Amino acid sequence: MSKAPLWPVLDDYGLHKVPLRFYWLLLLLLRPYISWILVLTLPQDQRSMLALFYPLQRDFIIACAVAAPLLLLIAALSQRKPKGRRGWRHIWRYGGLIMLSVAVVDLVVSVSHLPSQVMLDAPWRIVSPLLLIIGCIWLLRSRTLKAVFAEWPEPIAPVTETNTN
């Protein structure tokens, strides 16, 4: 017996609903930008908090550069509606590949910047590589996500009134 649902879960526009896991993975991959925004909202004397996550400024810049393609994917996601701009369709179709490549590069960068004694000094830093591995596996295996990236809403034709006098 198959574990797949008998019917797809559709959104308001008749498209496959974007899974909640997609948004969680997006938050994980966008963590440099999220931490940057959080640090900008802190008072001036507490702005050194970014050094907890990125001890070297170079690490933060690399992390932002790795996650930058996801900003295009977010823009395409915002246009995934009938009245959205159709040009974003091309970016959306490659969204799975974009997310997978960002996740793999982020995983490699995260693992390469781990300290040698990570399990003794900062075991919490191993959580993001483990979540990235799980995210990569999900991106490769999810049939629903493949269907989500394969479809784009059709534009709504404007309603014209006809005068029958």
Sign of CA dihedral 55, 61, 64, 66: negative
Assigned domain for 8 exists: no
Backbone angles phi, psi at 161, to 5 degrees: -90, 135
Assigned domain for 31 exists: yes
Integer Cα distance of 164 and 148 in angstroms = 43
The answer for residues whose C-beta is within 8 angstroms of residue 138's C-beta and 6 or more apart is 21, 25, 145
pLDDT of 162 reads 60
Assigned domain for 36 exists: yes
pLDDT of 109 reads 92
Assigned domain for 160 exists: no
Q: How many domains does the chain have?
A: 1
Assigned domain for 3 exists: no
3-state DSSP assignment of residue 42: coil
**Domain of 123, in residue numbers:** 20-42+50-150
**Per-residue confidence at 89, pLDDT binned at 50, 70, 90?**
confident
User: Using one digit for the tens of pLDDT, what is the confidence trace for 25-74?
Assistant: 999 999 999 988 988 888 877 777 777 778 788 888 999 999 999 999 99
**pTM of this prediction?**
0.80
Integer Cα distance of 161 and 163 in angstroms = 7
The answer for residues whose C-beta is within 8 angstroms of residue 45's C-beta and 6 or more apart is none
Residue 157 pLDDT more than 90? no
Integer Cα distance of 145 and 143 in angstroms = 5
User: Using one digit for the tens of pLDDT, what is the confidence trace for 11-25?
Assistant: 766 778 888 899 999
> What value, to the nearest 5°, has the Cα angle with vertex 48 and ends 42 and 49?
70
pLDDT of 132 reads 94
pLDDT of 141 reads 94
Assigned domain for 1 exists: no
Assigned domain for 113 exists: yes
Assigned domain for 14 exists: no
Provide the mean pLDDT of the chain.
83
User: Using one digit for the tens of pLDDT, what is the confidence trace for 134-145?
Assistant: 999 999 999 889
